[in-house]
């Protein structure tokens, strides 16, 4: 199955955090299958405490042949390994955020995970990069593609600005 994962960082070396998460997620993806990576966007914090720094965001899509619980455990492990602290304030600034957006056509509702992610269509910083790499994707319980959803996004939603063309163009964050 294909798994979409949103990556975000607004603390420290944001690009290095995104790149490290990308590398770690690449390591758990199905070997020899393509990994899609959107451009990297800078965005205003949304629903965050006042004076939160700007985010860098991207979306990747990997091939994944294990359980959704394994994927969730690994995204949470990656967050911890890259320095994310236990939440004390809702949406506090963070080194890395790895949100599973979808896993194939799975529809999941548990205390720890909802798939597809319930706020994909509300967040330009997720929808724009997702529409870039998977424009024709239609998620379970949705009636339109990612591209169509992006085209219908309200004009008053916070803007994003592309800052890099994605990790395929980078050898390392320092280059």
Question: What are the two backbone dihedrals, phi and then psi, of residue 142, each rounded to the nearest 5 degrees?
Answer: -105, 155
Q: Residue 111: CB partners within 8 Å, gap ≥ 6?
A: none
- Residue 159 phi, psi (nearest 5): -75, 155
Catalytic residue positions, numbered: 84, 94, 97, 99
- Could you tell me where the beta strands, DSSP code E, fall in the chain? 2-9, 36-37, 40-43, 55-63, 97-103, 108-109, 114-115, 160-164
What's the CA gap between 115 and 105, in Å, rounded? 9
Give me the DSSP letters along 150-173: HHTS-TTSPPEEEEE--GGG-SST
Measured distance CA(30)–CA(62) in Å, rounded: 8
> Helix 68-81 and helix 14-28: axis angle, to 10°?
150
d(CA 39, CA 137): 17
């Amino acid at each position: 199955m294909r798994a979409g994962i949103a990556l975000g960082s607004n603390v420290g070396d944001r690009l290095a955090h995104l790149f490290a998460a990308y590398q770690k997620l690449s390591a758990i993806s199905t070997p020899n299958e393509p990994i899609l990576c959107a451009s990297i966007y800078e965005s205003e914090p949304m629903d965050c405490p006042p004076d939160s720094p700007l985010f860098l965001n991207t979306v990747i899509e990997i091939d994944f042949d294990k359980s959704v619980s394994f994927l969730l455990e690994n995204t949470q492990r990656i967050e911890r390994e890259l320095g994310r602290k236990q939440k004390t304030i809702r949406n506090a600034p963070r080194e890395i955020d790895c949100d599973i957006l979808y896993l194939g056509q799975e529809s999941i509702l548990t205390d720890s995970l909802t798939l597809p992610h319930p706020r994909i269509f509300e967040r330009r910083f997720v929808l724009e990069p997702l529409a870039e790499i998977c424009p024709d994707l239609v998620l379970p319980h949705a009636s339109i593609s990612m591209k169509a959803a992006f085209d219908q996004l309200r004009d008053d939603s916070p803007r994003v600005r592309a800052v890099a063309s994605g990790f395929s163009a980078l050898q390392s964050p320092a280059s």
